Chain A
Amino acid sequence: MPAVEDQLRAELTRVAETVQPGQLRPLREPTRGPGGRRRLLPVVAAAAATVVTIVAAVLASAPSGQRGFAVPRPGPAAMPRYYVTVARTSAGLEAVVRDSAHGAVTGSVRLPGTFAAAGQSVTATQDGRTFAIAANLIDASTLPGTVAMLYFWLPVSADGHPGTPAELPVGTGNGEPLRGMALSPDGTMLALSLERFGLITSTAPYGDVEVIDLATGKTRAWTGHSAPGYFPGAPIWGNDGRTLTFTWWRVTSQTTGAAVITGVRELDTAAPGGNLLASRLTGFRTATEDLQSAVITSGGRDIVASSCRGGDHGTAVAEVVELSAADGQLVRVLRTQTTRFPNATDEQNALDESCAVLSAAASGQHVLVQAFSFGRIDNGVFTALPGAPPSSVPFAAAAW
């Protein structure tokens, strides 16, 4: 069928040549040369903020080979092109897409509904073009104070324009702390780390991990019900699209919500669900304390974590640190910021709500943080970015 071949050749050439050299954006050279650290897994947005007084710790998983974690495919170590912030405005809850280099707004969209002031979380797929947003909704049609967690799907175009948010078929986590979530590398599944409370609130909470198929809404759950006082931190997906790795926390004070990280768990999600405690645990010899949020980076090799504490004379100190995922030990301090607050209330609000590692690029080299100030850390260098409210107002969620 030479006629078809000739026509096809001509048509493909014609379509291809609709792109001319002058239209192309120049290629961006990767920041690390060949032979640098391999790029790893997608990382997840950090802690959701439904509970104000949290403590946490960090953790990470051990090197891939040692723990059987899927070795991720090499990929870009470049900074993600866009980040998405979600914050409450007078018009409601708004998702804003910004250019990662300077924070310029490339588009924004309002989420439908009347949302509570706090409790948002954001995560992105590996390519940084699809985001999932979780937000606490105040349901005006029921009793005052009734809260539900809604989840949205937000695509972002190559030039940074957000699509219309679509509600995802997720019916879980209502009124209970979402400790983190992660979109699978291909964007087809959403993993949630949840902290559950029993019917009797004085009993210790426990943790569940749920994986939702976003096409069908089918949910698979792994419960840690038999381990009260423990819950999972923000998960990350392995590059195989089935392994989840997350920090494993122990509550040390039910009054304050303080907790420490005791190790890292690795869950094979191929099963239909089951006992979370059957997942593989790498315990730390010494629990990592005094941290408030953590994300696992670099495919499970590192942990980036934050801590904030009150200091002398009205000052408070925020730290962002990198820990070894193998043993929880400090590798380096990425940033320290000392801030003076005008009064004790502002200081306490900042300590409670403005100290979090929000999201890390897959390579682990670029991290979004809010350690009193919002910005990014690139290989240890902090750059302030717009997009988050001042530290004295509720926490904003962000991811890239």
Chain B
Amino acid sequence: METEDVIRSPGTPPDRASPGAEPARSVTELFRDHHLELVRLALLMVSDLATAEDVVQDAFEQLHRRWRGLRQQSSALDYARSAVLNGCRSVLRRRLVARRHEARAAGPAPHEADAAVALEQRTELINAFRSLPRRQREVLALRYYLDMSVADVAATLRISEGAVRSTASRGLAALARVLPPPASPKEP
């Protein structure tokens, strides 16, 4: 079989100078600076490293496209965190569907690196954290992993500060129930 290719009308060359080149560099720098932090945040939500990396990659590409649309570029990190959390929600929704088919569809064996990470993560407190409702996990991760203020958490999740406080309080109360009671002070 002889074959001859003719490309009559190739698309726009990808290397054409782009007016967005400067913003693109800024987005790239932002993600380069915060890549690890964002992957770790995603890991707390989705529990496996490969998926966490995918979520961050998607968020990176979203921000790359939306950069000009942001009202203040100083909010880019908040937007990136928010995009990562949105991506995690999508992953968790899909997992929920997949679990319904789980009896017949065992998932793929975890990647070796993922398995090692998973082993490291198993503690009672972390298991309890992962069993919390999604919103509670997000609030607690932003507050106690990223040490964000209540106002910043509210801005990132687009909820009120009161909702942040009450959600955090409910989450902490749920976690407190799985912790062993504090030891009684010894009698002098």
Report A's interface with B, CB cutoff 8 A: 1, 3-5, 7-9, 11-19, 21, 23-25, 27-36, 38-39, 73-78, 107, 125, 127, 129-130, 153, 155-159, 161-168, 186-188, 214-215, 332-342, 365, 372-373, 379-382, 390-391
Which of B57, B65, B110 meets A34, CB within 8 Å? B65
Chain B residues within 8 Å of A159, by CB? 50, 111
| Contact (A75, B68) CB under 8 Å given A35-B18, A381-B10 | no
Complex CA–CA separation, A390 to B129 (angstroms): 52
Additional A-B contact list (16), CB under 8 Å, known A13-B145, A34-B27, A382-B7? A8-B129, A15-B44, A25-B53, A30-B24, A30-B65, A35-B18, A77-B65, A127-B54, A130-B98, A158-B48, A158-B51, A158-B53, A163-B105, A334-B9, A335-B5, A337-B4
Main secondary structure of the interface of B (DSSP, over half): helix
Q: Would you call A338 and B67 a contact (CB within 8 A)?
A: no
B181 CB to nearest chain A CB (Å): 10
Report B's interface with A, CB cutoff 8 A: 1-12, 14, 18-21, 23-24, 27-28, 31-32, 35-36, 39-41, 43-44, 48-54, 56-58, 60-62, 64-68, 90, 93-94, 97-98, 100-101, 104-111, 113, 116-117, 120-121, 123, 125-126, 129, 140-141, 144-145, 147, 172-173, 175-176, 179, 182
Q: Would you call A4 and B175 a contact (CB within 8 A)?
A: yes
13 contacts between A and B (CB under 8 A): A12-B141, A16-B145, A21-B36, A33-B24, A34-B24, A74-B65, A77-B61, A158-B53, A187-B93, A214-B100, A215-B97, A333-B9, A379-B10
Chain B residues within 8 Å of A130, by CB? 94, 98
A52 CB to nearest chain B CB (Å): 20
Complex CA–CA separation, A189 to B108 (angstroms): 22
**Which residue, of B14, B21, B41, B97, has the highest number of chain A Cβ atoms within 10 A?**
B97
